[in-house]
Structure 1
Amino acid sequence: MTLNPVDVTVPLAPGGPAAPHSASGEMVALHDLDGVAPPAQAARRWIPKRVVATPAAYDHAHGQRIMALLAARGIEVERLRGNRLTGLRGESDRATYARAKSTMAIVVSPPSRRKLQPIAPSADWRFDLAEGCPAHCQYCYLAGSLSGPPVTRVYADLDDILAGLGDYVGRGTITSRREHRRDEGTTFEASCYTDPLALDHLTGSWRRAVEHFGAWDAPVQLRWTTKFDDVGPFVGLAHHGRTRVRLSVNCRPVTTRVEGGTSRLEDRLAALRRLALDGYPVGLTIAPIIAVPDWRAHYGELLDDVAGVLRGVPDIDLTAELITHRFTPGSKEVLLGWYPRTKLEMDEESRSRKHGKFGAVKYVYPPETMAGLRTWFHEQIAARLPACRILYWT
C-alpha cells in the first residue's frame, strides 16, 4: 500500500502559536501532545506507485536481483532512456513531494558515494545502499541534506560497494581508535540516508550486507537503524554478531504524532527482542529527543517498556545513542513545505544557535534544557537499563 503524504498530518490541527514554555522554563516542543494520543496505525510494507530503472542499473547483478524481486511481487519496472531521473516535479512543493515519495528508482551509486566519509559520532565510516525513505517523519533528517525531490533511490551496484569496504578497515577514528569503543572494531554505518527495513523487502540489499559482514573474518561491524519492525527475513541469517541493529524509538507523543508511515512503538520493541534473541548486538537510537510536556514521564515510560520487552534475553549486547532535536534554516524551510500543518516546534527564538565545523548554522535546545535532558537520560538509563551502554549524546 502506498502511503498518501497528504493524509499524514490529518490528526494535527492547523495553525497554532509559537512554542510556549512551561512554568519551570522547559520548552514545550510539540503543541497539544499531553492529551490522549490517537491510535497508531501498524505500518505496512511500502509498495511504490512507480518504479524506474536507469540503463546503467541493468548492467549490475544486484540491479537484476532487485528487478527479479519486484517482478515476483507483480511490480513493473519502467526503463528510463538515460541515467538521469526526470518527471518528478509537480505543480507545487506538495505535489512534488507526493510524486517523489511514491517513486523508487534503481540507479548506480554516484562516484562520490564510493569514497567513504567519517560519520562521527556514530561510526568510523558511512556507506550507502540507498538514498531516500518512504516514511513521513515531520522532523525528517533528510530535509535539507539531500537535493531535489525526495525520491527513493536504491543502488544496483551493491556488490561493488561491499567489495570496496575492505580498504577502510582499521583506518577510522570513532571506534577503530577510541578505547571505550574499540571492541566494536571498524564500524560501517549503512542507514544515514534511508531506513533499511522500509526497503529491504524490495531490494534484499541489507540482507546481503548482513551476510557479507557475517562471512568477513575481521574486526568489523555493520550498523543500521530503523523505525520499522519487519525483521523476520533477518532472523536466522549468519550474522555472526557483526551487525548491530538499532531500533529508532521515541516516547509515544512523538511516535504517534510526527512519525507517519512507520511501525508502532510496540512493534519496534518486539522486533528489538526478536533480533536480540537471535544473537544480534542491538541498540536504541532515541531520536530526536524532544522536550514535550511531561517529557520525564513519557521517556520514563519508554525506558520501562524497553526494559520489559528485553527482560530474560540472555547475554544481551545493548547500546543507546541519544540525539536531541535540532534543525537548520534550510531543513525548516523544506519541512514546512512538506508538512505545512506540522505542530513540530521549530522556533529559532527559543533555541540556541550553533555553528558546525564548516560554518553551517543549526538550532539546538538552550544549554539549561540540554543539560536537564542529558542528566536525566544518563541517570535513568543507568537505573532502568543497567545493561545498556550509552555510546554518545548529541
Structure 2
Amino acid sequence: MNFDAVYFEPDSLTYELGRQLKAQFANLPWIPVESHNSISEMQQKANAEFGKMKRNLIIGIRKTHKYVENHKVSDYLVPYTSSGCTAMCLYCYLVCNYNKCAYLRLFVNREQMLDRLIKKGRASETPLTFEIGSNSDLVLENTITGNLLYTIPRFAEEGAGKLTFPSKFHMVDSLLDLPHRGKVIFRMSVNPQPLISRIELGTSDLQKRIEAVGRMCEAGYPCGLLIAPVMLVEGWKALYTELLEQLRAGLTEKVRKQMFLEIILMTYSYVHRAINGDAFPGAPDLYDSRLMTGRGRGKYCYIPTARAEAEAYLRQEIKRVLGDVHILYVS
C-alpha cells in the first residue's frame, strides 16, 4: 500500500514491530504525535479530505484492553492490533466511532495483547471464542505488519478456545500454511458485486473473496460467510439473489458443506451522510427516509417491516439456492 506519511507515538519505536515499521516506511515523513487518539491536524480537516486522510498511517500503543461480551459468533470482542482501515466503505461503522478519523491505526504492543488473550482463554472453565477483527480488517493489516503470521501459530500452540476474524479482502495466501490447528475461524464478508463496486470502495471484488474463502477452507480453517451489511437499495432482491447464485457457483463443495452464515442489515448514520456527501459527491445516498428510522444517537436502521421482509426473503432464497446452510443469526 502507498501511504503519504506516518504519524507515530515516539514510544512505539521501543517495540519490535515499531522498529520494523520504521524501517519498512523509512522513505516517508514520520511525524511524532502525543496520542494516536487525538491528532489535531487530522481532526481539523474538512470532511472532503476523508479519502486523502486514509493515505496516512498511524502507529501507536493500544492502551485500552476491555473485552466486550458478544454471544454471536464469539464470546468476546477483543481490541487487537489495529483499528480503522484504508478502505472506504460508505456505511463503515467505524466512522460512527472515529468520524472522519477512521484511518488505519497500527498498535505495536501485540505481545502484550496476545499474552492477555491467551491468559483469559486458559483461565476459562469452558472454551471461549475471541473476535479479534471487530475494529479493523486483519487480512488487510497483515499485508503491512504480518501480525496474523505472529498471532495464529502462537495461539495455536499456547491458546485455549478459538480466534475469529472477518475480512473483505482476498490476500490470504500467507496464512494457508500456518499451523492453526483448527483454532482460527475465518469469515468472509460478501455483498453483490454492483454494491461492492459503488459502496465498498477499496475492497476486494466478490469473485476474489469467494476464491479466498475456498483456499482458507482447503487449508483446514473453519469458515463462514457474512452477508453484510444487507442494503435495501432499489432492486435489492434481484441483487441478493444474484449474489447467492454466484456463491452456489463459486464456492467449493468443502466450503458449502461446513460453512455457516451471518446476516447483518445495514445501520447508517448522520455522520456517514455528512462525510460521504462532501468526500464522495457522486456516491449513492444510502439513507432512505421511507425505510429507515432513528436508532440511538444520530443513527438510522431499517424499520421493523422492512427488516422482517428482508429476513424472510433472504432465508427463503438461501434455502432455495444454497440448501440447508446454517444461519447463525440475522441482526
Instruction: Provide the rounded CA distance (Å) in 2 between the counterparts of 1:334 and 1:171.
Output: 44
Q: Does 1:287 align with 2:287?
A: no
Q: Residue 155 and residue 361 in structure 1: after superposition, are their counterparts in 2 closer, same or farther (change >3 A)?
A: same
Are 1:271 and 2:212 matched, yes or no? Answer: yes
Which of 56, 74, 96 is the aligned partner of 1:123? 74
**Post-superposition shift, 1:276?**
0.9
Q: What is the distance in 2 between the residues matched to 1:254 and 1:315? A: 23
How far is the alpha carbon of 1:315 from its aligned partner?
Answer: 8.6
Aligned pairs for 1:36-75 (under 5 A) are 46-68=1-23, 70=24, 75=27
Q: Distance in 2 between matches of 1:292 and 1:48?
A: 33
Give the aligned partner of residue 150 of structure 1. Answer: 102
Q: What's the counterpart of residue 42 of structure 2? A: 88
Change (3 A) 1:314 1:189: closer
Q: Distance in 2 between matches of 1:312 and 1:299?
A: 21
Alignment partner of 1:164 out of 113, 116, 129: 116
1:1-40 → structure 2 map (5 Å cutoff)? none
TM-score (norm. length: structure 1): 0.75
Q: Are 1:206 and 2:148 matched, yes or no?
A: yes
Shift of 1:343: 1.1
The residue number in structure 1 matching 2:322 is: 385
Residue 137 of structure 1 contacts residue 259 of structure 1 at CA under 8 Å; is this kept in 2? yes
CA gap 1:170/1:254 in 2 versus in 1, 3 angstroms:
farther
Instruction: After TM superposition, give the deviation of residue 108 of structure 1 in Å.
Output: 0.3
Aligned to 2:62: 109
Deviates more, 1:293-302 or 1:278-287: 293-302
- Per the TM alignment, residue 303 of structure 1 is displaced from its structure 2 partner at its CA by 1.4
**1:102 Cα deviation after fit:** 0.5
1:374 Cα deviation after fit: 0.5
Q: Does 1 or 2 have the higher relative contact order (CA < 8 Å, sep 6+)?
A: 1
Q: How big is the shift at 1:275?
A: 0.6
Higher helix share: 2
The equivalent residue for 2:306 is: 369
1:32 is matched with which residue? none
Identity across the alignment (%): 24
Query: 1:349: how far off?
Result: 4.9
**TM-score, structure 2 normalization:** 0.88
User: What pairs with 1:222-301 in structure 2 (closer than 5 Å)?
Assistant: 222-301=163-242
The one-letter code matched in structure 1 to 2:72 is P
CA separation in 1, counterparts of 2:20 and 2:132? 20
Question: Using a 3 Å threshold, how does the CA distance of structure 1 residues 93 and 312 change in structure 2: closer, same or farther?
Answer: closer
How far apart in 2 are the matches of 1:137 and 1:330?
13
Give the Cα–Cα distance (whole angstroms) in 1 for the partners of residues 101 and 235 of structure 2: 36
Q: Say which is worse superposed, 371-380 or 330-339, in terms of deviation.
A: 330-339
| Distance in 1 (alpha carbons) for counterparts of 2:270 and 2:116 | 36
Q: Does 1:194 align with 2:136?
A: yes
Deviations 1:199-239 (A, max 9, x none): 21111112222222222352x22111111111111111111
Match of 2:89 in 1: 137
Aligned residues: 328
Contact 2:47/2:274, CA 8 A, preserved across alignment = no
Q: Please, which runs of 5 or more residues in structure 1 have no aligned partner?
A: 1-45, 178-184
Whole-angstrom CA distance in 1 between matches of 2:190 and 2:140: 15
Contact 1:352–1:367 (Cα < 8 Å) also in 2:
no
Query: In the TM superposition, what whole-angstrom CA distance separates every residue of 1:26-63 from its partner, at most 9, and x where no partner exists?
Result: xxxxxxxxxxxxxxxxxxxx222212332111122232
Deviation of 1:79 after TM superposition, in Å, equals 5.6
**Structure 2 segments unaligned to the other structure (5+ residues):** none
Q: In the alignment, residue 319 of structure 2 is paired with which amino acid?
A: A
3-state SS of paired residue (1:344):
coil
After TM superposition, the structure 1 stretch with the greater mean CA deviation from structure 2, 135-144 or 79-88, is: 79-88
Q: Which residue of 1 aligns with 2:294?
A: 353
Shift of 1:260: 1.1
Q: Secondary structure at the match of 1:88?
A: helix
Gap change, CA 1:206 and 1:330, over 3 Å in 2: same
